[in-house]
Structure 1
Amino acid sequence: MQSNDNTHQDRQELAYLPVPIPKAPAKQRRLAALREGLRDWWNRAWDADGVLHEMWDDVLSAPEDGFRYMAPWIRTVLMTAGLAFVVLMAKAAGEVVLQALRQILTAVPKVQVGVDTSSGVAAVVDQPVRTYIAQHSTGLPVAASTVYTLWLLTGITGLVLGYLFRNNGVRVMWTVWGAATVVMVWTATPQASRPVAAGLAVLAWTFLSAFAMRGLTLRRRIVAGRPAKVTVKPEIHVPVQPPAPAAEQHPHSGCPFRD
Structure 2
Amino acid sequence: MQSDDKPTNGQPINGQHNPNFLDLLNQTPPQRFARLRAAWRESWEEGGFLHQRWEEIFQARYAGWHEIAVWIKTAGLLAGLSLIVMMVDAAGDIASATLAGLSDVQATDAGDGSGLWGTVDHPIRAFLADQAAHLTVAPAALYAFWQLAGLLGLIGGFFGNAGARIAWTLWGLASLAMIWSAAPAGGRAAATGLAALMWAFASAFALRGLTLRPIVHNHPPQFNPELHLHATLPAPSPAGDDFDDNVHPLQR
Aligned residue number for residue 57 of structure 1: 48
Match of 1:149 among 117, 129, 144: 144
Match of 1:138 among 133, 136, 140: 133
Structure 1 pair 93–213 and aligned structure 2 pair: CA distance change class (3 A): closer
Which whole-Å CA distance do the structure 2 matches of 1:171 and 1:231 have between them? 37
Q: Deviations over 1:160-212 (max 9, x none)?
A: 332332x4433222211111000000111122221221121112212222232
> Is the 8 Å Cα contact of residues 163 and 212 (structure 1) preserved in structure 2?
yes
Equivalences for residues 5-24 of structure 1 within 5 A: none
Which whole-Å CA distance do the structure 1 matches of 2:118 and 2:162 have between them? 30
- Give yes or no for the alignment of 1:120 onto 2:110: no
Q: Displacement of 1:221 after TM fit?
A: 4.1
> Is the 8 Å Cα contact of residues 176 and 192 (structure 2) preserved in structure 1?
yes
CA RMSD of aligned residues (A): 3.4
| Gap runs ≥5 in structure 1 | 1-51, 235-259
Task: Specify the SS of the correspondent of 2:114.
Answer: coil
| Gap runs ≥5 in structure 2 | 1-42, 225-252
Partner amino acid for 1:124? T
Q: Displacement of 1:219 after TM fit?
A: 2.3
Partner amino acid for 2:218? A
Aligned residues: 174
Aligned residue number for residue 219 of structure 2: 229
Structure 1 pair 210–100 and aligned structure 2 pair: CA distance change class (3 A): closer
Which whole-Å CA distance do the structure 1 matches of 2:123 and 2:159 have between them? 30
Task: Specify the SS of the correspondent of 1:215.
Answer: coil
Q: Displacement of 1:84 after TM fit?
A: 1.8
Structure 1 pair 173–135 and aligned structure 2 pair: CA distance change class (3 A): same
Aligned residue number for residue 49 of structure 1: none
Which whole-Å CA distance do the structure 1 matches of 2:157 and 2:176 have between them? 19
Structure 1 pair 217–233 and aligned structure 2 pair: CA distance change class (3 A): farther
Match of 1:162 among 143, 157, 160: 157
Q: Displacement of 1:141 after TM fit?
A: 5.0
Calculate the TM-score normalised by the size of structure 2.
0.57
Aligned residue number for residue 20 of structure 1: none
Task: Specify the SS of the correspondent of 2:77.
Answer: helix
Which whole-Å CA distance do the structure 1 matches of 2:221 and 2:146 have between them? 47
Which whole-Å CA distance do the structure 2 matches of 1:96 and 1:204 have between them? 33
Structure 1 pair 85–211 and aligned structure 2 pair: CA distance change class (3 A): closer
- Give yes or no for the alignment of 1:187 onto 2:178: no
For the pair shown, the structure with the greater C-alpha radius of gyration is: 1
Structure 1 pair 191–119 and aligned structure 2 pair: CA distance change class (3 A): closer
Which whole-Å CA distance do the structure 2 matches of 1:142 and 1:233 have between them? 68
Match of 1:82 among 70, 76, 79: 76
Q: Deviations over 1:86-128 (max 9, x none)?
A: 2222222222221222222222232121341663101111011
Which whole-Å CA distance do the structure 2 matches of 1:141 and 1:233 have between them? 69
Structure 1 pair 232–81 and aligned structure 2 pair: CA distance change class (3 A): closer
Judging by fraction of residues, say which structure has more helix: 1
